[in-house]
Amino acid sequence: MEPEFLQAIDEENEWEELELELEDESEDFSSEQDHWAASISFDGGCSALLVFPLIVAFLLVTGLLLGLGSTPLPALEAAAIQVLFEESEPKNIVEAEVVAVSANEESTVETIIAPLFTPEVLYWQDEIIKWAEARNLDPNLVATIMQIESCGDPTALSQAGARGLFQVMPYHFAPGENAYTPHTNAERGLSYLVETLEARNGNARLALAAYNGGIRGTQGLEVFWPNETQRYVYWGANIYQDAAQGKNNSPTLQEWLGSGGASLCRQASQHLGLAP
């Protein structure tokens, strides 16, 4: 049996060893805790980077829902999708599709002339379609102008000096050109029609006014247009509307014939060899 003082020494040594073990474990735990803290800090930063856009998106969508409470659900879904993916949207592809659609719409031209026009105008149907397609014009608009300008008479001459199928003024022709040659007359007359359409942003009614009264002469209000131009637009716009709708007859065309157009068509019929 050991003496009491040796037992006390042994117990004291055991306590010292136990304290050392506890200190080692404490250091290991602290080291491990620092490691986990660093790991959490790194992972948390990455998670924040991932979560932050979702929070922003959530706030934006919430704002849309609060501000557009009466908007139908599909519209809200579309708005949310636009907000979330606007930056990543392939805009060049979308723009290309829009351009393709626009180009397709511009190249689409009616290739059938309404049957409501008089026989003298329908006599030029094939040529009207070719002339219109060459300039991306509606053949019914071209036929309407021919109807009220000359009724298809290539030799028509107005008191003002306008000549041919489309009653083109002499200053539109180049030196040496024959104003009464159908192709040349159509070339000059329809080129001017294109100008009037461009000047009036494609508005056929305003283009008809400019074709008759000049681009500058019809810039003001309609009430200030010359009476001749106002009558011209009344005839032309209504006949063209009926033709564009594919009607078989036009009350306005019949009204035009009864107001003096019939004599012009009789003259055209004789020159074209259509008269019995």
Q: What is the pLDDT of residue 11?
A: 54
| Number of Cβ atoms within 10 Å of the Cβ of 203 | 13
β-sheet bridge partners, residue 163: 157, 168
Structure-token pair, residue 36: 């986990």
Do you know the residue count of the chain? 276
Q: What is the pLDDT of residue 112?
A: 86
Structure-token pair, residue 144: 């309407």
Q: What is the pLDDT of residues 194-247, one digit of tens each?
A: 999 999 999 999 999 999 999 999 998 999 999 999 999 999 999 999 999 999
Q: What is the pLDDT of residue 19?
A: 54
When pLDDT is cut at 50, 70 and 90, the band that residue 24 belongs to is low
Q: What is the pLDDT of residues 96-146, one digit of tens each?
A: 232 222 233 343 444 689 999 999 999 999 999 999 999 999 999 999 999
When pLDDT is cut at 50, 70 and 90, the band that residue 270 belongs to is very high
Is it the case that residue 89 has pLDDT exceeding 80?
no
What distances in angstroms separate CA 246 from CA 112, 116, 142, 144, one per listed residue? 9, 8, 15, 13
When pLDDT is cut at 50, 70 and 90, the band that residue 3 belongs to is very low
Structure-token pair, residue 71: 């908007």
Q: Is the distance from CB of 218 to CB of 210 less than 8 angstroms?
A: yes
* Between residues 8 and 200, the one the model is more confident about: 200
What distances in angstroms separate CA 100 from CA 47, 72, 103, 104, 227, one per listed residue? 43, 31, 5, 6, 43
> Residue written as tokens 């068509």?
265
Q: Residue ranges of the alpha helices (H) in 68-135?
A: 73-85, 91-107, 119-122, 125-134
| Number of Cβ atoms within 10 Å of the Cβ of 15 | 10
In whole angstroms, give the CA distance from residue 276 to residue 269: 9
